[in-house]
Amino acid sequence: MDSIKRRRPRSPSPAIYKLDDEDGSYEPYVPIAQRRQEKLARLSSLGVNGEKLNVKKLQEELDEREDAQREEEIRREKARKERTLLLEAQEVHSRKAAEDSKKTANEKAEEADAEILEAIKSRRKLASDMELAKGIQYMEPLKTSWRPPRYIRERKPEEDNRLREKYHILVEGDDIPPPIEHFSDMKIPEPIVEHLRSKRIVNPTPIQLQGIPVAFSGRDIIGIAFTGSGKTLAFCLPLIMMALEEEMKLPFIRGEGPVGIILCPSRELANQTYENVVTWCAALAKDAKYPPLNALLCIGGISMNDQSHVLSKGLHIVVATPGRLIDMLEKKRFTFNNCKYLCMDEADRMIDLGFEDDVRTIMSFFKNQRQTLLFSATMPKKIQDFARESLIKPVLVNVGRAGAANLDVLQVVEYVKQEAKMVYLLECLQKTPPPVIIFSENKNEVDDIQEYLLLKGVEAVAIHGSKSQEERQYAIKSFKSGAKDVMVASGVASKGLDFNDIQHVIIFSMPKEIEDYVHQIGRTGRSGKTGIATTFVNMNTSEQTLLDLKYLLIEAGQKVPPFLSTIDDPRAAQGNSLTGCPVCGGLGHGISNCPKLEDAQRRQMASHRTVDAEGGY
Ligand SMILES: Nc1ncnc2c1ncn2[C@@H]1O[C@H](COP(=O)(O)OP(=O)(O)OP(=O)(O)O)[C@@H](O)[C@H]1O
């Protein structure tokens, strides 16, 4: 009985059965009585006298030996199985590694892109923290009293579409207001139309003929059109009209207003837009029928006390850079209690990671529903999608591909060795008469170029983020007035600045982001005139930037120099899709190599509430 208790079961466990069964080594069960008989027979065959020996003891010894044998078999079997599993795991692993290495060729990049896009998607909505906290979500656009003339209202939708096709305007959104081909049909006050005519602004440009009716209707808008195509008028005029209507209903007194704000990424651009607003308001007020409208320039680097006379009256329009505007709002120099118009010029720049939080803070000062307008020449798909989520029934008005170069600019790309650049620059300046702008990414280089040109007797001014506000203003003023022939500039002057008839833009050092290039060459070829842009590249220019440039030249139907055409797109070799980067709009790379993403991450790490190097604050 004892021995039976200690003995291990001879018959294998069901699990082992199963395994044995699987590989065909199944042993049939032998009853205990039969086994005892067999054992005794074996003992007697060995010549052992069963009566003399303690049979029970012998039997136990034999059982133990058999048990040990059986255990050894099970152990070996287990080891064999484990080894097989290990081998299998190794095989799976190496199969996966092989698949992964195959993926590099086609899917890996897309997988990585999807991951980055997912991360970008998780960015918070652009709505202010206050709106988000209160859970406020406006569903309907702002109501305005403006209506298109009856004959346009009665036009068939197909006719509207025909007009859009004629002007290469793409639209997206619900209930899109009709395009209007003439200023006179937009119900703009006659003194303004008259003033525009005096400036040879007779017919609206495509972005204006669709953008203005959309904005006049109170709709949120994303307006994308190439550099120099008249976006400023498209977003200033609706604000002037809104302010006019409010003022005429009930005149503003001290402490009231503004009705709306225009946000710009640089002081110079804000200043230029402010001057436009003031000119158009003054043109309006020339007719005694219309009241004067007050505008305030709110930028870093200037004393706000100089404008105290504006603050002592009712305030209609504020043109600002984000930092100074937040400062003024926090100090309660004015409020947004009645503000219902927020426009962002160069909006992609405003809402990319650098200014995103500032924009949110500004939005949190609004007390009521607002109309939001975003305009730019470059607006990568991801920024469009992100912005769209934060707008109310927005209308997208797109003239040409977002980020495409202005076709009125002749783009010349030249290979110039680093050490030869300065000398070649002088030669290059002979291509056209002045005025000429030279762009460099590096502030020290801007200073060096100006110094060199001055030494060579060229009347040159320089502007970059480290110059004082006076120096910057002097540079812009003297260049605009024609007193100086050449302006050497860092990126600060590249976005939105509208100089008279620039003949030639020279890009001394190619920017990493192709969007910056598009803005820089866009300082020429404005308002229907043509211009030249010469860009120096060399081995310091990254291959990816060169690829972006190559595709942009091809898209614009420009000549591609041999050293650019020989650069192959690695994505093509890997069989990857050649669609443009959704983050920066560059056509020569995917999202995983986006230079803007790197920059954005860098900027996010730096505290952007400190003085903006480009002078935004
Ligand atoms: N309808 C028009 N007809 C002719 N010229 C116009 C018209 N509208 C604006 N302009 C002129 O075109 C020039 C460029 O306009 P604006 O500065 O608004 O361009 P933009 O689209 O904002 O360019 P950017 O993207 O570089 O900021 C200005 O000098 C402006 O006076």
**Domain that residue 445 falls in:** 409-567
Q: Does 299 map to a domain?
A: yes
Helix (H) or strand (E) holding 415: strand 409-415
Whether 497 and 376 share a structural domain? no
Q: What rounded mean pLDDT belongs to the chain?
A: 82
pLDDT band, very low/low/confident/very high, at 614 (cuts 50, 70, 90): very low
pTM of the model: 0.75
Residue 606's pLDDT band, with cuts at 50, 70 and 90, is: very low
**Does any domain span residue 554?**
yes
Asked if 313 and 294 count as a contact pair (C-beta separation under 8 A), the reply is yes
* Distances 547 to 46, 494, 567, 598 between C-alpha atoms, Å: 91, 22, 7, 18
128 close to ligand 1 (CB < 6 Angstrom): no
Rounded to whole angstroms, what are the CA distances from 392 to 127, 143, 173, 400?
11, 12, 10, 24
Q: State the amino acid at position 297 in one-letter form.
A: L
Same domain, 435 and 354: no
SS3 state of residue 366 = coil
CB of 231 sitting under 6 A from ligand 1: yes
Which residues, in sequence order, are bridge partners of residue 396?
172, 222
Torsion of CA 183, 186, 189, 194, to 10 degrees: 0
Residues 392 and 498 grouped into a single domain: no
Instruction: Write the residue with the smallest CA distance to atom 22 of ligand 1.
Output: 231
Q: What are phi and psi of 49, to 5 degrees?
A: -85, 115
Spatial separation of the C-alpha atoms in residues 547 and 516, rounded to whole Å = 15
Domain assignment of residue 332, yes or no: yes
Res 108: pLDDT: 62
**211 & 255 share domain:** yes
Assess if residue 85 is contained within a domain. no
Task: In whole angstroms, give the CA distance from residue 440 to residue 443.
Answer: 7
Q: pLDDT digit string (tens) for 500-552?
A: 899 999 999 999 889 899 999 999 999 889 999 999 999 999 998 999 999 99
Residue 21's pLDDT is 37
Q: Which residues of 62-100 are buried (b: 16+ CB within 10 A; e: fewer)?
A: bbeeeeeeeeeeeeebeeeeeeeeeeeeeeeeeeeeeee
Instruction: Classify residue 599: in a domain, yes or no.
Output: no
Protein residue closest via CA to atom 12 of ligand 1: 527
Q: Are residues 368 and 471 in the same domain?
A: no
Domain boundary among 381, 399, 417: 399
> Is the domain of 254 the same as that of 328?
yes
Domain end (from 567, 586, 606): 567
Q: How many domains does the chain have?
A: 2
Residue 41 lies in a domain: no
Token code pair at residue 16: 């082992």
**Do residue 227 and residue 375 come from a single domain?**
yes
Tell me the CA–centroid distance for residue 515 and ligand 1, in Å: 19
Judge if the beta carbon of residue 349 lies within 6 A of ligand 1. Answer: no
CB < 8 Å & 24+ apart, contacts of 448-452: 448/422, 449/422, 449/425, 449/488, 449/508, 450/488, 452/422, 452/425
Ligand 1 pocket member 204 (CB < 6 A):
yes
Centre of ligand 1 to C-alpha 233, Å, is 7
**Is 191 a member of any domain?**
yes
Cβ distance 535 to 549 under 8 Å?
Answer: yes
**Is this complex scored with an ipTM above 0.95?**
yes
Of 182, 329, 325, 319, which Cα lies nearest the Cα of 243?
319
Strands 169-172 and 486-489: unpaired
Q: Please indicate whether residue 403, judged by its CB atom, sits closer than 6 Å to ligand 1.
A: no
Domain limit, last residue, from 551, 567, 583? 567
Question: How many angstroms separate the alpha carbon of residue 598 from the centre of ligand 1?
Answer: 32
- Both 255 and 231 in one domain: the answer is yes
**Are both 431 and 532 inside the same structural domain?**
yes
Q: Which residues pair with 22 in a beta bridge?
A: none
Which range has the worst mean pLDDT, 31-35, 167-171, 292-296? 31-35
Q: Is the pLDDT of residue 311 over 90?
A: no
User: In angstroms, rounded to a whole number, what is the distance separating the alpha carbons of residues 227 and 207?
Assistant: 11
**Residue 471 and residue 390 in one domain:** no
Cα 454 to ligand 1 centre (Å):
31
Residues 511, 440: Cα–Cα separation, whole Å: 8
Q: What is the CATH number of the domain that holds 435?
A: 3.40.50.300
Residue 413 has pLDDT above 70, yes or no: yes
Residue 429 Cα, ligand 1 centroid: separation in angstroms?
26
* 498 C-alpha to ligand 1 centroid (Å): 8
| Gap between the Cα atoms of 86 and 56, Å rounded | 44
Q: Are residues 389 and 413 in the same domain?
A: no
In whole angstroms, give the CA distance from residue 370 to residue 367: 9
Task: Based on the fold, state whether residues 328 and 422 are members of the same structural domain.
Answer: no
**363-381: b (≥16 Cβ within 10 Å) or e:** bbbbeebbbbbbbbbbbbb
Q: Classify strands 260-263 and 486-489 as parallel, antiparallel or unpaired.
A: unpaired
- Whether residue 7 lies inside any domain: the answer is no
